[in-house]
Structure 1
Amino acid sequence: MGRSSIAELLLSFAAAPAKDSFEEYQQLTAALWRDGELTELAHGAVSTVVDCLDEVADSHKGYLAILLGLLAEADPSPHGEVVAGVRKGLDRYLDLLARQPSGQPLALALLYLVGHFPEARDQIMSSVAGHRLAEDDLTRLTRVLQPLDADDVVLGRVWPSPAEWTLSEAEREHDRTWIARLSPEQVAATYAGDTLMLLGYSGAKAYWALQNGVPGRAASPDPYGDAAPENPPPFAPETIQRHTSALRCPTCHSRLIVADDVVTCTGCESQFSTAHGVLDLTGALAESGDPDDVLRNAAVQRRIGLFYENVLRPGFLRLMGSNWSNQIMPWHEDAYLVENTRPVDGPVLDLAAGAGRWTAVLTNALDGGRMIALDLNPVMLTWLRGRLPEVAAVRASALDLPFGEATLGAVNCWNALQALPDPASAITEIGRCLRPGGSFTLLTFRSSDDPIYRYFQNSFRGPGFPDGGMPLFRLEDIRTWLDQAGLTVRAESVPGTFILVTAERR
């Protein structure tokens, strides 16, 4: 395929009615760009694509803007031939943007496109100054165009938009402390990663809007997303004592006993910390770090639970679940959990519980004394203890669950499987620990069938996945892992790019 063939693809796309143009667009994109990489034809075709932007119908312009943004982003050099060719059209992009109503699909696509030209920041920001952009769109654009200032840098507190982060001075100082320990190369790499995450979110929002219309407004604050009290309550031995028949030592797998504030293995006699009410099974007591560090971090970042539930999580669901129309709202998830959690005898485990959003739902629906919240993050568990003091909080790995075989009555893993380093092994562990008839409820995400949207999904960089590419799934793989773990699927649905499954241990 040569330049003439690219011209033919452009002509076919331009001539196609709006309702029939998407297939033509996919063919055009695949000829120039594949999974974040330029094809050999891209270099010679950029100027033709830029010129075509003036010639196609308004219904087609946004798609070309997305394509041009993808081409600019794929150029391995910020001064490369492709990005330079795309940049030559900047004046016409800004002129077209100035004529679009704020928040409309074409305007969103153009914002994604012009976000790739930080060297033209002053020109771009001056052009959009009177455009009345939504605050999230404006601050996202401002940030992706902002060059790195090593003396005053914010890392990791910008997604899904800087507008949604309001840090206290104590939180800023906490960030300055850990940022100061990074090398210049690490700071630059993290800053660039944040930029790509914001571009990915902007691109996903625009691309979805071109196909479906203006995205819905963000949901109102989550009633379960409240902040924890000042300090978690002291350790209550009964929260762990009631589950000792299920709990096992992570080293020798013997049973545990509780005496005062210490939990001891009946086999190897290892002792485990219960500082701040959290049973820490990641190491013996002598190996644990300073437990006061956890409380200090929780105090400095006290509002992170609120940020997570009301800002980060909704943005994550929009990007990963294609939830731009709010088809899945928190109360839909609540209802699903309450309806599908069907425990048999034994504790109910909320796996990778985080700050306890879904633990709270299950605690309200079931006997709270049955609940165990497990996570690897001690700060999250400290917040959870503050809001749910009656729940047993356990720090342990999802890949080596500290429970005996067939000891749990039900397991929930909500919006977490994709964050685990070995999701198949986690499901195997769930199957090992569940009693026959016990339910397993799961919410996670599937990789989009659309390569462009899948690329935007893969822009997300989270803990454990600093280079992007958080593993999303195929429904077929989830089914296979469940079957191999002895679980039978009882219900499943895939709205957008969500996966919701209820399974039962055979």
Structure 2
Amino acid sequence: MTVSPAPAPAHAPAVGLAERFVRAAPDEVPARFHALVAALWDDGRASADAPAAVPSLVTALERAGTERKGYLAVLLGLLAETEYPDLDGPLTRAVRSRLDVYLELLAGEDIGTPLTLALLYLLSHFPGERERILAAVSRLDLEAEDLSRLDRSLSALDPSRPDLGRVWPSPSVWTLNEQERAFDRSWIGGLTPAQTVAAWEDDTRTVLGCTGARAYWAVCHGDPRNLPAAPLPERRDISLPVADSALFAPHLGALRCPSCQASLTCDEGVVRCSGCTARYPVAGGILDLTATAGHEGDAADFLEKLSRVPSMGLFYEAVARPAFLRVSGSNWGGAVTEEDEDRYLAEHVRPVEGPVLDLGAGAGRWTAVVAETVGAERLIALDSALPMLNVLRGRLPRVPSVLASAAELPFEDASVGAVVCWNALQAFYADAAAAVAEVGRVLRPGGTFTLMTFRRSDDPVYRYFQSAHRFPQHRGGLQLFDPQELKRWLADAGLTVREESGPGTFVFLTAVREK
């Protein structure tokens, strides 16, 4: 009688892949790890075999050398995260059941920064073990940002006093004054219970994304380079320079009404359309083209609105932007510095006749570099975020600013000498193709379009961490670009790429409007 062999366990392929990863030659480690990941996980979703494979993964974690343990800790964290916001699903329970192993590894001597960070990412998925985990890490000399991200991941939402929105790049960097606390209370108080829960979960995913990106980069490349200490900007009332609509007079030949596309004229405190009844308020050198004025006092109303905007632009410049470049650009090793960015702009922005548009100008750090290159008198800054323009105007009193959409630029055809879009295109990803088309429309022949943005990582694990950010404009997760798609948009807009570069997942690019 022939006896058929017993069927292999469903997770047997993963067991073999885990064993091959543990025993792989050093140059085979990335490929073996990605094969293991692909068998159990795909872009935030676990395979049916994943729960049964967890014991084998933990055994491999215990057996592997220190430099490979971090990979397996990250994978176990990814598997637990597939069930979020369910904190007690079967896969999460399977991973959490070996908590003793993770804590014992964390207490080991000389485990190094990469493995420590990977274990912190893994432990961040177990809020039910909060006290035990925090007690274990209290013996470690953790960076304040790492510890505060762990603490936030292990916290539970208090519906009576929800603490929302202040988690990027870590909770520890936020010290709020009374004005900012009042601002938070006002917008949080207007949320429904469902919106509060959704915002909390978005914040948690953002924290886990940053923790995971830092850990995984360290596992693959070594210790991250710490950012220079950035003191929090002084909380102060921003005194905007006194400037009325006359600041826009030199550029009125290029600007047009967003409602009817007719030309604009300027009076004290208001810009008027020559073709329709639209009147747009101006205050502090900022022209608001997102809403028309209702009466002659609206310039004063707009200035009052500006005075109430929290100084978020200052915080963004000092803290949030450098951290964003680390995650989106894979820049944990500091391959791209601010000096590199300055140099690229100075070398590649080559305007022809006409004003120079800084599209998505933000708080003005790189607007200042462009102003030094082409002259502040030629420059117009445009952004859709009032807090950013508020800071920009305080920094650059000679540069007029426009509050408007990138998808419908308020400029005449072929009226602009150059366009810069620096670390901004991904901020309006849904409108990016339309914005590029608009750049092609408004550029004069021979004018340059110079941009810096980010591409999706080729590594599926790091790409997942890139997309984990759930800022208000990225509720479904941050989306980054396929360079080929980006170049197709440029070609469709009549723009020819003259230079393309960038380490990691940066994209530095200069294109020219064909004559």
- Please give the range of the TM-score, normalised by the shorter of the 2 chains: over 0.9
Secondary structure at the counterpart of residue 294 of structure 2: helix
Q: What's the counterpart of residue 132 of structure 1?
A: 141
| Pairing of 1:31-180 with structure 2 (within 5 A) | 31-75=39-83, 77-101=86-110, 104-180=113-189
Runs of at least 5 residues in structure 1 that lack an aligned partner in the other structure: none
Note the C-alpha offset of 1:298. Answer: 5.1
Question: What CA distance in whole angstroms lies between the structure 2 residues aligned with 1:94 and 1:293?
Answer: 57
Choose the corresponding residue for 2:336, options 328, 339, 342: 328
| Pairing of 1:402-421 with structure 2 (within 5 A) | 402-420=410-428, 421=430
Note the C-alpha offset of 1:433. Answer: 0.2
1:132-179 deviation digits (Å, cap 9, x = unpaired): 111111111111101112233321111111111111122112101211
Contact 2:177 2:235 in 1 (8 A): no
Specify whether residues 293 and 62 from structure 1 end up closer, same or farther in structure 2 by C-alpha distance, changes over 3 A only. farther
Contact 2:354 2:417 in 1 (8 A): yes
Choose the corresponding residue for 1:390, options 388, 398, 402: 398
Task: Provide the aligned C-alpha RMSD in A.
Answer: 2.2
Contact 1:228 1:387 in 2 (8 A): no
Choose the corresponding residue for 2:38, options 30, 37, 40: 30
Note the C-alpha offset of 1:381. Answer: 1.8
Q: Which amino acid aligns with 1:409?
A: G
Question: What CA distance in whole angstroms lies between the structure 1 residues aligned with 2:301 and 2:50?
Answer: 52
Choose the corresponding residue for 1:365, options 373, 387, 390: 373
Choose the corresponding residue for 1:195, options 170, 188, 204: 204
Q: What's the counterpart of residue 497 of structure 1?
A: 505
Secondary structure at the counterpart of residue 490 of structure 1: strand
Specify whether residues 289 and 181 from structure 1 end up closer, same or farther in structure 2 by C-alpha distance, changes over 3 A only. farther
Note the C-alpha offset of 1:363. Answer: 1.4
Contact 1:18 1:59 in 2 (8 A): no
Secondary structure at the counterpart of residue 511 of structure 2: strand
Note the C-alpha offset of 1:504. Answer: 0.8
Specify whether residues 81 and 255 from structure 1 end up closer, same or farther in structure 2 by C-alpha distance, changes over 3 A only. same
Secondary structure at the counterpart of residue 104 of structure 1: helix
Contact 2:71 2:118 in 1 (8 A): yes
Note the C-alpha offset of 1:127. Answer: 0.7
Contact 2:286 2:400 in 1 (8 A): yes
Contact 1:222 1:309 in 2 (8 A): no
Question: What CA distance in whole angstroms lies between the structure 2 residues aligned with 1:340 and 1:276?
Answer: 31
Q: Which amino acid aligns with 1:465?
A: H
How many residues were matched structurally? Answer: 504
Question: What CA distance in whole angstroms lies between the structure 2 residues aligned with 1:89 and 1:387?
Answer: 53
> Does 1:232 find its partner at 2:253?
no
Choose the corresponding residue for 1:444, options 453, 468, 472: 453
Length-normalised TM-score, structure 2: 0.93
Deviating more after overlay: 99-108 vs 419-428: 99-108
> Does 1:214 find its partner at 2:235?
no
Q: What's the counterpart of residue 461 of structure 1?
A: 470
> Does 1:205 find its partner at 2:202?
no
Q: What's the counterpart of residue 423 of structure 1?
A: 432
Specify whether residues 412 and 404 from structure 1 end up closer, same or farther in structure 2 by C-alpha distance, changes over 3 A only. same
Q: What's the counterpart of residue 400 of structure 1?
A: 408
Identity of aligned residues (%): 47
1:204-253 deviation digits (Å, cap 9, x = unpaired): 11111111110001045499x89886321233333210001101111111
Deviating more after overlay: 39-48 vs 398-407: 39-48
Choose the corresponding residue for 2:351, options 323, 343, 350: 343
Runs of at least 5 residues in structure 2 that lack an aligned partner in the other structure: 1-8
Question: What CA distance in whole angstroms lies between the structure 2 residues aligned with 1:96 and 1:267?
Answer: 71
Question: What CA distance in whole angstroms lies between the structure 2 residues aligned with 1:373 and 1:486?
Answer: 23
Note the C-alpha offset of 1:306. Answer: 2.1
Note the C-alpha offset of 1:8. Answer: 1.0
| Pairing of 1:466-485 with structure 2 (within 5 A) | 466-468=475-477, 470-485=478-493
> Does 1:433 find its partner at 2:442?
yes
Length-normalised TM-score, structure 1: 0.95
